[in-house]
Structures are given as C-alpha cells and as structure tokens.
A and B are shown apart, each in its own frame.
Chain A
Amino acid sequence: MNRRGSALVLMMLLTVAALITARLCADMMLAWVGTQRAQTAADFALLSAVRVRGQSLETVAARWDDFGAPITHSGGTLNAPASLVTAIAANALALKRALPGYQGRITSALTVAAEANGVARTAVTQSTPGGLRLGLEAQTQFLSSTGFPTLSIEGLWLRRVWLDTAEAGTAAVSVAWNSPRLGGSWTFTAPASARLEWDADTHDVAVAADGNGGFSGDWVSASSGALFRPDRYPVYRAQLAALP
C-alpha cells in the first residue's frame, strides 16, 4: 500500500466509527420513542377493552330489565304474571347464552386496539386476566305464577362475581416492544393498568340507599322490597390506574 494512503485509511476508519456512533445514537432515540409508543398502545388497548366491558355490563343489564322488570319477590320466591312466564324463560335463556359473546367482545377489543397501534396480539400479556372478564354468572331460579307450575328458569338473574361495590376489578396488561438497533434489537415491556369503576353518583340519595355496585352479588341483595332488582344503577367507567 502507498504510504500516503495510510492517512486516507485512518480517515476512513474514523469516518466509519463516527457513522456507527451516529447510528447507535439514532437507535437509542428510536428506542426511547418506542417506549412512548408502547406505553400509549398498552394504555389505549387496555382502556378500550375495559370500556367495552363496562358497556357490555350496561347492555346486559338493559336486556335483563326488558324482560325481568315485571318479576316480583315475596316470601323468598319470585313471581311473574302468567302471560309473561314463557317470554321471561325464553329471554333469560337467550341472555345466558349471550354472555360468552359479550366476553368475546372484550378480548376482541384488546386485540383490535393493540393491532391498530402497531402491536401484535401475541405481544400483549394479561397479568390480571380477571379484570378483563365480564364478571357475571347466570343463576337458575324458580319462578312462580298463578295458573302455572313453578318453573326452574336458567339465567333468571345475573350475579356479579366481583366483591367491591365501588370497583368492578382492575385489569393489567404489558406490551412487549422490539426496537431495532445495529446488529439486533432491544426488547422492553410497557405495563398498563386500568380499573372499571361503578359510576353511579353515590351522593344521590336513591343511589346511596339502594345502590349495589350495579349488580347484586348474592340472592339476598338481589331484591329491593317487593321488587326483584338484581341490577341497580348499572353504569360503569373505565379509569386508568397507577402502573404496577
């Protein structure tokens, strides 16, 4: 090699080193921006799913009210007008069978919202799956009516599985994010947490006296005087929670 060329080689090496440094700096910036994108995706996907859960609970309550409102309660038994018993039984069974569909919408929302933010569903991990369950169990109960034999009806009322009236559960997910870099990639996770709150105004006199967290948790509190009202003020709101 020409000795004059050694300076050129040195310059080239320095230039290459500078380019590599610049590339690594750019990769680090991209990774830090990626943390924001991952956190936004995690928050958005989780909030979407929790909101769909709240809307599903409200829809289920409205569907039950459509056929369950005439049911009354006396002496530990449920009663309904004879003309409505057949329709009540059919609608109760249909609502019970529809519950898995409402559950499916929650998980679908998680998938759709994640993918809309550039995150594959496989990169989303649920750390508290219970928070994204619908949380309702269909209960079989006897229904009496004048002129009708007492019937055991599937899904006659719906019981909530969460305990706290103020909050219907907290859900948490984490999103795995890969950020490309020179010679490989960096992988990190963005956690998100959200809770579904009972949104009824507890300062309201009627809500304070009669509210039950939206749905009843047991048979005893499903009745309100002579009325059978397992769902009372079923309104919910999804709220971002502190990161775990």
Chain B
Amino acid sequence: MFRSRHGSTLVEFALAVPVIIALVLPSIQLLRAALFQTRLEVLAFRVARRLAANATPPSDLSAAARTLTAGFRPAVTSHAVARTLTTLAAPYPRRPRTVEVVEVDLTAAGPLLFPGAPYRAHAHAREFRWGAS
C-alpha cells in the first residue's frame, strides 16, 4: 500500500483531532461544571454565614441575600428563609433564647456542558442563628 509521506501525517492528524476532542472535551466540561458548583456552594456558605451573624428580620432575609449575591456573575437567583427550631429554657438570670436556622438557596445558569444541554446549578447552605426571644 502506498501513501505519500505528507498525506499520511495529515490523515493521521485529521483522524486524531476528533478523537482527542472526544476524549478531552467531556472531562473539561465536567471540570467547568464542578468549578462552577464549587463557586456557588462557597457563595451560599458565605451568604448564610453573613445572614446568621446579622439580626436581619426573617422577612428581609431574601432581600439581604439578593444584595449579597449581586456581584456574582452569572446572575444568581437567591432565596433565604429562617426556620425557628425551638425556644430554649434558660436558667435564671439568663434570657430565653430562640434558635433559628438560616437556609439559603442559590440557583444560577451553569456553564454549557454540551450543546443542547443547559443546566441550572443549585447550592444550599444553612447556619444557626441565635436570637433573644
């Protein structure tokens, strides 16, 4: 079988490129998705940490979360709630305490994994918040 020297190299290269792309692209896309998910998780953690440290009323938590996530790109949809767990009995003269859990949910459009397969990344974080009853 005869092949020209230049031609054989080009053919091999032309055949190799799609194979390489097929091998590498999914890994890179999955890494991008993992990176984005990690960024979103860390952002949710930070927002929950800040909301738990402030005495923001439960009705204003979502607005505060939106403010804290305003700088994140791409835009994030945020939702925060405070669930009251219980009122703790406290020995005199301590004041009674309520325990709340601040829950933060962030949703954002993730990077394009594969053509025609967009996905939305979601992160959830929670922090305790102690308050006076």
- Which residues of A approach B to under 8 Å, CB–CB? 3-4, 6-7, 10-11, 14-15, 18, 21-22, 25-26, 28-29, 32-33, 35-36, 39, 43, 193, 199-204, 206-207, 233, 235, 237, 239-243
Contacts and interface: CB of A to CB of B under 8 A. Distances in A.
Contacts of B6: 3
A243 B93 CA distance: 29
A243 B50 contact: yes
Contacts of B96: 201
How extensive is the interface on chain B, given as a class?
Answer: 20 to 34
Contacts of A233: 93
Most buried by A among B34, B54, B93, B94: B93
B16 interface: yes
Contacts of A243: 49-50, 53
Nearest to A233: B93
B130 A18 contact: no
Contacts of B39: 32
Q: Interface of chain B, helix or strand or loop or mixed?
A: helix
Given A22-B31, A25-B32, A193-B53, A14 B5 contact: no
Contacts of A206: 93
Contacts of A35: 42
B12 A4 contact: yes
A235 B93 contact: yes
Contacts of B52: 240
B31 A25 contact: yes
Contacts of A33: 38, 42
A207 B24 CA distance: 69
B31 A36 contact: no
Contacts of B13: 7, 10
A33 B130 CA distance: 26
Most buried by A among B28, B34, B41, B42: B42
Interface string B80-124: 000000000010111110000000000000000000000000000
